[in-house]
Amino acid sequence: MPEVVSQQDIDDLLKSGGQEPAKPKEENEIVPYDFRLPNRISKTQLRTIRTIHENFAESFSSFLVTKLQTIVNMTVNTVDQIYYSEYVMSVPDPACLFTFNIKHTDIKGILELNIDLALALVDRLLGGNGTSTKQQKIITPIEQKVLQTVVEKVMLDMKKAWHIIDNYEFVAERFEPDVDFVQLTSPNESVLLITFEVTLGEKSYFMNICFATFAFDPIIAKLSSKKLSSVRPTKYNGMSAQELIRKQLNSVLLPVTVELGKSTITLQEMLELKVGDMIILDKKIHEELTVKVNGKTFYYGYPGIVNNHKAVKVTKNLLTDNSF
């Protein structure tokens, strides 16, 4: 005899079918760890290092403003830990590299100037406009000597910037055009790479500072978070970079011209013009003259003589009269 299914059995069957299957227990996320490139420096310590080098960038850019007589802006782009082999592959050939060390420690490093930046610095320091015309971008011994002043200033400003951590003395060693001959550390070791963007006028370049981190343990121990709040912007001769730029701009010499008047003549009159002929100008004898600064009208005035020199007495200032 077939078994009769009751209404209760049907309801129980429907309820059991509507239940969701039990979810498997979530496993903890497994984070891969690269034993070849351990993070010797924590993120907090990297932030401290970034702040230190931001102070360095401000101080060094102030020096460049004074030396090059142009607007300079320098910022920290990145602070990374990478393989030394990765850094070596990123360096062009030929390069502009200066090795250095921190005195009384085993820490060594590389100061890398972009070739175009190095040549622009040399041109500026020798009185040019910063545009190099060299076909072969190789740093000559004479250019190395010129750049030595810049490198020594980098070492000095690095010492000032790192003073918040300890009294480290950065010492420049030698110039090297080929990164393969530097041998800062083994290819599989990690290095600390700080990349700067340097803007001279309207052109931007890069500059790198690379530290070997195998001997960084004494510094790491001192890179505590409380040090970060103690870091203050470095000033150059008591002035910030912005104040120094403003001071330099205030002393820029601008050409001033006084326009006596204008007139027009025909080509025939120009050909027939001779010494002693008179040209009548559009200005009346008692009318104010136009005074231009750098080709633009800023003032009006009357002509005169001061100490046996022709002069003009300013009678109207378009800047203050809101007429400009």
Confidence of residue 225 (pLDDT cuts 50, 70, 90): very low
* Tens-digit pLDDT profile for residues 61-89: 989 988 888 888 999 999 999 999 999 99
pLDDT at 205 over 90: yes
* Tens-digit pLDDT profile for residues 140-193: 999 999 999 999 999 999 999 998 888 899 999 999 999 988 988 888 888 999
Confidence of residue 115 (pLDDT cuts 50, 70, 90): very high
Using alpha carbons, select from 307, 304, 323, 301 the residue that is nearest to residue 256: 301
* Tens-digit pLDDT profile for residues 3-21: 565 666 666 666 665 555 5
93 is written with which tokens?
A: 């050939």
Residue whose token pair is 């309207």: 202
pLDDT at 224 over 80: no
Contact indicator for 64, 192 with CB cutoff of 8 Å? no
pLDDT at 228 over 90: no
Mean pLDDT of 41-47: 84
243 is written with which tokens?
A: 């104040």
Contact indicator for 227, 164 with CB cutoff of 8 Å? yes
CATH class of 256-272+280-317: mainly beta
Domain boundaries, the chain: 43-250, 256-272+280-317
Paired sense of beta strands 309-317 and 72-83, if any: unpaired
Q: Which of 36-40, 196-200, 305-309, 310-314 has the highest mean pLDDT?
A: 196-200
Topology classification of domain 43-250:
Chemotaxis protein chec (3.40.1550)
Confidence of residue 31 (pLDDT cuts 50, 70, 90): very low
**What are the residue ranges of helices labelled H in the chain?**
7-18, 43-68, 84-90, 115-125, 141-162, 217-222, 225-228, 241-250, 267-272
Q: What is the pLDDT of residue 52?
A: 92
